[in-house]
Amino acid sequence: MADKFTVVACPTCGQDVEWRPEHRWRPFCCERCKLIDLGEWATERYKVPVTEQDAFDDLDSRG
């Protein structure tokens, strides 16, 4: 009975998480880990400046 469900590792803390339909936070072990992961994702985006302006300038000078 114990190994009926697939077990995955929580992306945030690495804790074993049973991949059950009623587990709303999968693949995370809990809401907190999900929020932490989303927060880090947003932070990563924020830390990496997108240099679209440079790309447009380059295209514009060529065209």
Nearer to Zn ion, 8 or 13 (CB): 13
Assess contact for 17 and 28: CB atoms under 8 A.
Answer: yes
Q: Which of 8, 13, 18, 26 binds Zn ion (CB under 5 A)?
A: 13
Contacts 24+ apart (CB under 8 A), 41-50: none
Taking the complex as a whole, how short is the minimal distance between the CB of residue 38 and Zn ion, in angstroms?
Answer: 13
Q: Does 12 bind Zn ion (CB under 5 A)?
A: yes
Query: Which residue type, as a one-letter code, is found at position 44?
Result: E
Report the interface residues with Zn ion, using CB under 5 A: 10, 12-13, 15, 29, 33
